[in-house]
Amino acid sequence: MGSRLSRMSDLCMQTIQQAYDRYQIDFDPYLFPAYHSIAKMNSTTNTELWETLQITQPAVSQTINKLLKKELIEISSDSDDKRKKIISLSEKGSKLFGRVQPLWRSMDQAVKKYTQTPANSLIEHIDQFESAIRSGKFLETIVENMDLQKEVSITSFDPRYAEVFFDLNIEWLETYFYVEDYDREVLSNPNTYILDPGGHIFFAVGNDNAIGTVALMKVEEGIYELTKMAVHTDQRGRKIGQQLMQYCIDFAKQHNFKKLILYSNTKLENAIYIYRKYGFIEIDLEADVPYERSNIKMELIF
């Protein structure tokens, strides 16, 4: 089993490298764990990185040297202890981290596609994934996901789209439920209820038109509610909702959120399936739930 997994890992890395090369991104996939960890922690030390990655000290040192050679990280002395070396992303490394996000999302979605299909055993799962890699379907899926992201970009709140934020959500609520007073109040005053308290609103934009939206409402420090997700009726079926979901999860991780929560209704079976697919789990629903239509609460802890 060990040799089988090692072989599949090598095949997967070869395909990932092909994807990086296709989009002219100079990056070694074997450096991903260290590079991503350094970016997520903002700054770290050799020892902290070793504890995080759970690999040998020589392997950590070798990886750091490779990242230094590519000028993706920089090392400085701690202000309190000059013997202590601090590792952080360089300017080049930070720029690359932003540029590579769409490709990482495409890779993540491709992996989920081929590892979340029904299977009777771990061996069958491995067979399915290895077959997708060897046949080229895995790489094709990554490219397809990238093409879809090119057609639709995710942007932060833009006052030009404030009316769209209201209209898309009202349309969705009227289709599946009804508009509650709290909904109308929040949607009519996004600055007051979402942005000013430290929340975020994102739009899926295609051909300079906002065709989908989602919000992250701040509950308390590090905890945000994923809410107000809606997609234009003409654009449904293009997985725009899933792109918005993935963007919010990536955004939460990049900004070191503790967790995301959401409220929904179990009659929305497809939505609940997608939430679970992205790692949300059901938790107890409080008595004073903010939405009358909600009968399920879920969370995603980072």
**To which H or E segment does residue 224 belong?**
strand 223-231
Q: Look up residue 117 and give its DSSP letter.
A: S
pLDDT exceeds 90 at position 221: yes
Sign of CA dihedral 89, 9, 147, 113: negative
**Can you give the pTM of this predicted structure?**
0.58
Task: Using the predicted structure, report yes or no on whether residue 241 has a pLDDT greater than 80.
Answer: yes
141: Cβ–Cβ under 8 A, 6 or more apart, which residues? 109, 110, 113, 114, 132
Q: What is the pLDDT of residue 105?
A: 85
**Residue 238 phi, psi dihedral angles, 5° rounding:** -100, 10
Among 65, 64, 90, 88, smallest CA distance to 78 is for 88
Q: Residue 141: its pLDDT value, please?
A: 94
Measured CA to CA, the distance from residue 249 to residue 259 in angstroms comes to 9
Tell the residue number behind the tokens 């003409």, with chain if given: 234
Question: pLDDT band for position 176 (50/70/90)?
Answer: confident
Please name which of 185, 220, 213, 170 lies closest in space to residue 199, comparing C-alpha atoms. 220
**Which helix H or strand E contains 88, and what residues bound it?**
strand 85-89
Amino acid residing at 65: N
The predicted structure's pLDDT at residue 118: 79
CB contact at 8 A, 190 and 165: yes
- Nearest CA to 214 among 150, 278, 296? 278
Residues 13, 17: Cα–Cα separation, whole Å = 6
Determine what percent of the chain is predicted with pLDDT higher than 70. 100
**281 in Cβ contact with 299 (< 8 Å):** yes
> Does residue 227 register a pLDDT over 90?
yes
pLDDT at 238: 75
pLDDT given at position 114: 86
With vertex at residue 209, the alpha carbon angle to CA 254 and CA 141, rounded to the nearest 5 degrees, is 55
Give the pLDDT confidence of 17-60 residue by residue, as tens digits: 999 999 999 999 999 999 999 998 888 988 899 999 998 989 99
Task: Dig out the tokens for 215 from the structure.
Answer: 């919000």
Q: Which of 232, 230, 254 is nearest to 302 (CA)?
A: 254
Instruction: Using pLDDT thresholds of 50, 70 and 90, give the confidence band for residue 120.
Output: confident
The residue among 266 and 4 whose pLDDT is bigger is 266
Q: Is 241 helix (H, G, I), strand (E, B) or coil?
A: helix
Give the model's pLDDT for residue 123. 86
Indicate if the pLDDT at residue 79 is higher than 80: no
Name residue, tokens 């942007």. 155
Domains in the chain (CATH in brackets) are: 2-151 (1.10.10.10), 153-301 (3.40.630.30)
